[in-house]
Structure 1
Amino acid sequence: MKLYAISDLHLRHNDNRLALQALPAHPEDWLIVAGDVGETLAEMEFMLSTLTQRFRQVIWVPGNHELWTMPSEQPQLKGEARYQRMVSLCRGYGALTPEDPYPRWPGPGPERVIVPMFLGYDYTFRPDHVPADKALEWAWEDDLMCTDEVLLHPEPYASRSAWCAARVASTRARLEALPPGCATVLINHYPLRYEHVRLPRIPRFSIWCGTKSTEDWHTRYRAEVVVTGHLHMPATLWRDGVRFEEVSLGYPAQWKFRGVRGLESCLRVILPDAAP
């Protein structure tokens, strides 16, 4: 029995849909889908209907793309209402979400709790010399603008930063309530540490990539593995003896450039664990 992970399926691209359809069944295994499935409810349902038939358990966390309010889609759900619609859709297929009790890993090895999280970002992934109120201006100086600024609405919160703060606080409370000796697998769409935002071509895009509130969560909450996506740069990194897995598929041009032949080769094994 294995726990696999992948993210950034971006199913509006036909090549990605075909790759998902070609994925063989893993009837004994669990799968983490770490965000950016697509932009529409139909794409989300396509993922769920496909993967819940091929894995024993699917665990989903939202990326930014799922939370976009697309002008062509009805109803026009925004912010928390859109997120809760995604949660409801997952539950209809038996998939777990950040709103469900954290499951205990039933496979071999010591006791672990799998922790799907929805935390968002707050523009703090920036150099210390950039003031908070200048973060967007700093990105614009490099001609960078994230589509979130138009399509990701924070309602009922005053801002995406406020939504992030609320999510961080509620998630921290749940993590603090875990048994003190219990290891975790932390799952979030965005990197938990600023140093892991490796974007050499667009470094100032980092402000849309996480929050410094989570910098020590891998040690504070006894992570064995941290699973993230968003960057479209799959890699295994280590920090403080903790394994960090960036598990993005990405856009067709990106995964084809990496020589990927099929989605099966992109599934990252999270458990059983690997030594550094």
Structure 2
Amino acid sequence: MIVGEDGALLAISDLHVAYAENRAIVEGLRPGSPGDWLLVAGDVGDTVEDIEWALGLLSRRFAKVVWVPGNHELWTPPADPVTLRGEARYRHLVDLCRSLGVVTPEDPYPIWRGPGGPALVAPLFLLYDYSWRPEGLDTRDAALAEAYRTGIVCTDEFLLHPDPYPSRQAWCAARVAETARRLDAREPDLPTVLVNHWPLLREPTRILRYPIFAQWCGTEETADWHLRYDATAVVYGHLHIPRTTRHDGVRFEEVSVGYPREWRPRPTPPGKLRRILPAP
């Protein structure tokens, strides 16, 4: 898939449109030029209706929208009329995105040929496997027990079902293996922009207020992917700590909006699209 000759490659994540203030932010998102692409790195909303509303709106405004699921999209909340779980819910969202013209992790990776390109834009869905544990907690069970003891437990434990896989870490392993197979088969001379809801390496989680939460944030299996796949940039969200960092010389962009209680105290207004290419 090759489209785009001008404009910019932009990104945002963690829109959480169930909040009225965040919904207003999405309503205000517009491209700067007709050729702009938008990368949406997960957590658009909790219900299928909210996800359809937001991605439908954005797909009508931007030349191309590329989406990856976050943990909230994969939840099966009691209030959602769509009661699908696990893989079936993910596939339902993929079908929905395709009906809207939105690129998903199941589609051919598009090539950005605008300013700063060419680059292979790879939307990823990788999950996590509890391997980012605090020092001294050597097993998943020990890390989970400590999380429950301290009250720092991700809602995924109650709403993100791995069906038909026996566990979330088994689903993660299957996603990592399949995605690595696809990335290994790419054109090797073409740099990549890797887009995933969860960070690909652990370093960005070191500043979490509650380090125990890192076990729900990624997997050690992807720690070298920014180098292995010649990434010119890595885009992610999930942490609700928007910032730019560099690891091994590669630019990592956390592009989340987050919850209103998080962005209200910040000096900069929320919802500004981050430019990925051309590089700022």
TM-score range, shorter chain: over 0.9
- Whole-Å Cα distance in 2 between the matches of residues 24 and 144 of structure 1? 36
1:151 to 153, 159, 163: 159
Specify the code of the residue in structure 1 equivalent to 2:15. Answer: L
The question of 1:10 aligning with 2:16 is answered yes
Partner residue in 1 for 2:182:
174
1:200 Cα offset (Å): 3.7
2:279 to 248, 256, 273: 273
1:154 and 1:160 in contact (8 A); partners too: yes
Partner residue in 1 for 2:30:
24
**Runs of 4+ with >4 A deviation:** none
Specify the code of the residue in structure 2 equivalent to 1:155. Answer: D
Residue range with higher mean Cα deviation, 70-79 or 85-94:
70-79
- Whole-Å Cα distance in 2 between the matches of residues 191 and 243 of structure 1? 12
1:142 and 1:204 in contact (8 A); partners too: no
Residue range with higher mean Cα deviation, 141-150 or 235-244:
141-150
The question of 1:259 aligning with 2:262 is answered no
Q: Secondary structure at 1:114's aligned position in 2?
A: strand
The question of 1:51 aligning with 2:58 is answered yes
Q: Secondary structure at 2:145's aligned position in 1?
A: helix
Root mean square deviation, CA, Å: 1.3
2:244 and 2:251 in contact (8 A); partners too: yes
Q: CA 1:262 to 1:190, structure 2 compared with 1: closer, same or farther past 3 Å?
A: closer
Specify the code of the residue in structure 2 equivalent to 1:210. Answer: G
- Whole-Å Cα distance in 2 between the matches of residues 91 and 119 of structure 1? 20
Specify the code of the residue in structure 2 equivalent to 1:15. Answer: E
Question: Normalising by structure 1, what TM-score?
Answer: 0.95
Partner residue in 2 for 1:91:
98
Q: Which runs of 5+ in 1 are unaligned?
A: none
Q: Secondary structure at 1:224's aligned position in 2?
A: strand
1:74-93 deviation line (CA, Å, top 9, x unaligned): 23100000001111111111
1:142 Cα offset (Å): 2.4
1:108 Cα offset (Å): 2.6
2:173 to 165, 168, 186: 165
Q: Which runs of 5+ in 2 are unaligned?
A: 1-6
Partner residue in 2 for 1:189:
197
1:108-127 deviation line (CA, Å, top 9, x unaligned): 34431000000000000113
Question: Normalising by structure 2, what TM-score?
Answer: 0.94
Partner residue in 2 for 1:218:
226
Equivalence map 1:96-135=2 (5 Å): 96-132=103-139, 133-135=141-143
2:117 and 2:278 in contact (8 A); partners too: no
Aligned-residue identity in percent: 54
Q: CA 1:153 to 1:188, structure 2 compared with 1: closer, same or farther past 3 Å?
A: same
Residue range with higher mean Cα deviation, 19-28 or 185-194:
19-28
1:181 Cα offset (Å): 1.6
1:101-159 deviation line (CA, Å, top 9, x unaligned): 00111213443100000000000011353122312012223221111001000000000
Specify the code of the residue in structure 2 equivalent to 1:12. Answer: A
